[in-house]
Structures are given as structure tokens and as C-alpha cells.
Amino acid sequence: MGSSNGGGGGAGGRLVMNYLKSYLANSQPNQSFYWTGSHDVTGGPAGDMNSKYQQPKEGGNGTMLHSKCFPGYSGVFCKPCEIGEFKYDYSYGKCMACQNKPRYSYYTKMGEDTSICEYQCDRWLEKVDQNLDCLDPISL
């Protein structure tokens, strides 16, 4: 943070996460399921120094680097994709929204690794194993 008689804000820095054995499929969930921390690499705000020639500026945002994440996991800490999201492969990619559930249903599982995400019919309908399209009783 820039000071009152000083200059601009400091930069956000660099965050690098390297997991031990991150290439092993059986190590991935243990690395991320129990993480409860957060990260922030935003730059600091500018100070309030006034100068005829130069005004203070905000610090630039930092960078985040991390290992590749397994299918169904994403981000700096390789967290599982949220319910209703998926990620296909071992990569740096981001989770994307699932789009396969019928109208009267909801997604049920985190960490999906395919776009065919698990869903369940709304509770007033027959279960999905008997009503794949989650049709209402009249349509069914």
C-alpha cells in the first residue's frame, strides 16, 4: 500500500504452487480436498501523494503459477470442480459448466471429469434411473 507521503502501491508478487508427486493420480485429491486457505496477488492501492509532475499509481497484479491438475480439478490449489462443472484432462484448464441435465433436475457431484455430469430429478418426480429425462408425471 502506498503511504501518505510516498509513492505507489507495491506489486502483487508471485505465487508458485508445486505439489510433490503431482503427476500421480492417487496423490491429487489428498493435495486439494482439505485445503481451506485462500490466495491474493492483487497489487496494493496508490498512496495519496500529490505532485505536479507525477501521481502515484496502484501496484500491478502478481502472477500465479501451479502444477497441472487432474481431470475434474482446477486452479492454483487443484480444487475439485464445483457441482455443475467439469474439466476433461490433465492440464492447466478451467472448469466449464455442465449442460446435460434435463429441465426438472439438478447436478449432484463435484469433481466431474466429463461433460456428462451426474444429475438427479427434482424430488417430486420419479428417480432418474426410472425417468432419465426427468419428465413430469403427465408427460411420463
Segment 10-56, tens digit of pLDDT:
777 777 766 655 555 555 555 554 556 677 788 888 777 766 666 77
**Residue 119: CATH number of its domain:** 2.10.50
Please give the full DSSP string across 125-136, using - where no structure is assigned. S--TTT-TT---
50, 76: one domain: no
Same domain? For 115 and 128 the reply is: yes
Per the CB < 8 A criterion, the answer to whether 45 and 4 are in contact is: no
Q: What confidence tens digit (pLDDT) does each residue in 43-99 have?
A: 888 777 766 666 777 878 887 777 788 899 888 778 889 999 999 998 888 999 999
Range of the domain at 134: 68-140
User: Based on the domain organization, do 78 and 92 belong to the same domain?
Assistant: yes
pLDDT at 81: 94
Provide the number of structural domains found in the chain.
Answer: 2
The verdict on residue 33 lying in a domain is no
Question: Which cell is 73 given?
Answer: 480439478
DSSP state of 25: G
- Name the phi and psi angles at 69, rounded to 5: -110, 150
Q: Are residues 7 and 57 in the same domain?
A: yes
pLDDT of 135: 92
Residue showing cell 492447466: 92
Paired sense of beta strands 63-66 and 14-17, if any: parallel
Spatial separation of the C-alpha atoms in residues 106 and 110, rounded to whole Å = 12
Are 132 and 82 part of one and the same domain?
yes
* Domain co-membership, 50 together with 89: no
Are 73 and 129 part of one and the same domain? Answer: yes
Q: How far is the CA of 115 from the CAs of 35, 80, 118, in angstroms? A: 25, 14, 9
